[in-house]
A and B are shown apart, each in its own frame.
Chain A
Amino acid sequence: MRRIKTLFMSLLTFVLAIPGLALAAGGGGAPVVIVADTRKLDGVLAWWANLYNESHLQFAVLTIILIPLVGVIFGVIADIVMNWIGIDLKSRELAEH
């Protein structure tokens, strides 16, 4: 028990000491700028590519809103279908073997 405690404490000390070393290293390279070619696009795709070219922030915010939203919509649809089939989606038996 004492050995486990000593090992745990030394690992904890090691882990707490790492951030200082690592953060001191800093980092980061030269940013590469990618521009979307909107000439072949029209409609929503053209608007989307233009948004990308104009503001990465707005593009990122919209992406982060859209992904969970679409995920939830598809998830709920799949729930409805599985419920309709008759699968019990609220309980399960927890067993390892």
Chain B
Amino acid sequence: MEWLYILMPIAGVKIFWPGLIILGVGVGIIGGFFGMGGAWMVTPGLNILGFPMAFAIGTDIAHMAGKSLISTMRHGKFGNVDYKLGMIMLVGTVVGFEVGAQMVMWLERMGNVEKVVRWIYIALLAAIAWMVFHDVAKRREKERLAAARGEKLEAGATGVEWHKALHKIKIPPMVHLKEAGVYCSAWLPIFVSFATGWLAGILGIGGGLIRMPALIYLIGCPTHVAVGTDLFEVMISGLYGAATYTYKGRTELVAAMIMLVGASVGAQVGAVATKYIKGYGIRIAFGLAVVGCALSILMKLVQPWVPQFKDALDTSATVLVLGLVSGMSLYIFIRMIQGVKMELARKKAA
């Protein structure tokens, strides 16, 4: 079975390469569907496969750049990418991220910041999960009320509409974002991207997990456009991240390429699946992914209080993350197959 292992030229370790492809397919599907890089899923996966931590982040970012490029191309053809919004937000994201990263160094000098950062992360994920499920509940309530009046809600109607209050701020220059169908002050996306980039920099994450809901709830993008535009951002920041990590010598290109073989297929499946699933289906699945991510971090955080369960909690966190990746990617894949079957049947009947 030696042929199933490949020697990584830089890291110097032998890795089970089919595992890299499977991991790539899973995170590719989830990334293309939700519009995020998915570093929180890849890192434990790479660790299990025996990857040294020093190379895990760089390798993950390198494959993420290629994967999100494929997803962006697909979402772009569907009209899900608002390039103007993406470019405006890119400025705020990059500046915000750098400021966040510098702030972490500043805070580190004042004491142990790691635990504080993880608790902030938990609070943020809890807030995002609440936001998503509150929105879903509100939308259902609106639907019930409309049904009681004998009416039907329009296809684009949403539950919470916080973005409408923010759109009332008319500080020039004003911008019209065609694909997103939004007319607002340019300062709104700049401010939102700075805040999400700043949080991502502090938390040491890519930011897709924060930016996607921010695009929906603060900017007012339809779910599909939020996914596509976020992927455009992930692609640019992924390329920048890959360049800096590789220049520091922390990328294993061979592993990134093998992962990309699986991720390119997965990213297409995930992106095409959004065609067959309505916005609220994506929002609910995203909320569940956020809950899973929060639980896995919580399992790491409580370990100092229950040291006797440390190993069990570590294993449970890894099983939870990998179970979530497998379960969600399988669900998305099945929905995509069902959608394709229906589309082909419709074409045949026409």
On A, residues with C-beta under 8 Å from B are 1, 4-5, 8, 11-12, 15, 18-19, 21-23, 25-28, 31-34, 36-38, 40-41, 45-46, 48-49, 52, 56-57, 59-60, 63-64, 66-68, 70-72, 74-75, 77-79, 82, 85-97
Contacts and interface: CB of A to CB of B under 8 A. Distances in A.
A64 B69 contact: no
A77 to B, nearest CB: 8
Interface stretch (B34-42, B43-51, B149-157, B292-300): B149-157
Given A22-B106, A94-B222, A48 B9 contact: yes
Contacts of A60: 243, 246-247
Nearest to A96: B279
B251 A45 contact: no
Contact of B268 (A37, A63, A75): A75
Given A34-B10, A75-B70, A96-B222, 16 more contacts: A1-B168, A22-B103, A25-B105, A27-B102, A37-B12, A41-B9, A48-B10, A52-B10, A60-B243, A67-B65, A68-B69, A86-B343, A89-B77, A92-B79, A92-B80, A94-B156
Interface stretch (B83-91, B253-261, B302-310, B322-330): B253-261
A57 B243 CA distance: 9
A90 B249 contact: no
B264 A87 contact: no
A40 B56 CA distance: 22
A70 B257 contact: yes
B157 A78 contact: no
A18 to B, nearest CB: 6
Contacts of B264: 71, 74-75, 77-78
Interface of B: 7, 9-10, 12, 54, 62-63, 65-67, 69-70, 73-74, 77-80, 95, 99-103, 105-106, 109, 139, 143, 153, 155-158, 165-166, 168-169, 171, 187, 191, 194-195, 198, 222-225, 239, 242-243, 246-251, 253-254, 256-257, 260-261, 264-265, 267-268, 272, 274-275, 278-280, 340, 343-344, 347
29 contacts: A4-B169, A15-B195, A19-B99, A22-B100, A25-B103, A27-B101, A28-B105, A31-B248, A34-B249, A40-B7, A41-B7, A41-B9, A45-B9, A48-B254, A52-B10, A63-B243, A66-B253, A67-B66, A68-B66, A70-B257, A71-B70, A75-B70, A77-B264, A79-B74, A82-B272, A86-B344, A92-B274, A97-B139, A97-B157
A27 B280 contact: no
A64 B261 CA distance: 17
Contacts of A67: 62-63, 65-66, 239, 242, 253, 256, 260
Contacts of A57: 247
B223 A68 contact: no
A63 B250 CA distance: 12
Contacts of A18: 99, 103, 198
Contacts of B79: 91-92
A71 B195 contact: no
Contacts of A91: 78-79
Contacts of A82: 268, 272
A87 to B, nearest CB: 6
B191 A11 contact: yes
B62 to A, nearest CB: 6
